[in-house]
Amino acid sequence: MRILLVEDNVLNQELARDLLELAGHQVTVAPDGQTLRTIVGRDSAPHIVLMDVLLPGADGVTLLRELRTLGPYRVVPIIAVTAQALAGDQQRFFDAGFDGVMTKPIDTRTFVADVEKYASKRA
């Protein structure tokens, strides 16, 4: 499965990428919105996007809205990955258009299975 990970924290990038690649997935990392835009213009759409909400420059909600205007990204599951884990925060992310919310720090025991579950809901 092709996964696009939008995450600015290098340690979080490495942990998520290592877990996903060990499970046999192909991971492309974008540390910010500018890199994300370059990847989107260059590569085919992934099976799922994991999007940090707090990013330098454009935040995850802004980038989500941009992605949803692009043909293939209208149906790709885009999951918010955030330390903002209160019930109201999660509802705000669903209202913004995210397909799911995963909290940080990620649970290394369930992370890959959770990502695969969300990806299986691809429209």
Q: How many CB atoms lie within 10 A of CB 91?
A: 11
- What CATH number is associated with residue 42? 3.40.50.2300
How many domains, in total, are found in the chain?
1
Against a cut of 0.75, is the pTM above it? yes
User: Distance (Å, rounded) from C-alpha 31 to C-alpha 61?
Assistant: 15
DSSP 70: S
- What's residue 88's pLDDT? 79
Peptide bond into 72 cis (omega under 30): no
- Could you report the average pLDDT of every consecutive run of 10 residues in the chain (123 residues)? 97 97 98 95 91 93 95 94 82 93 95 96 64
Specify the pLDDT at position 107.
95
Residue-range definition of the domain harbouring residue 44: 2-119
Residue pair 30/76 in contact by the 8 Å Cβ criterion? no
Write down the pLDDT at residue 35: 95
What pLDDT was estimated at residue 34?
Answer: 94
Amino acid identity, position 84: Q
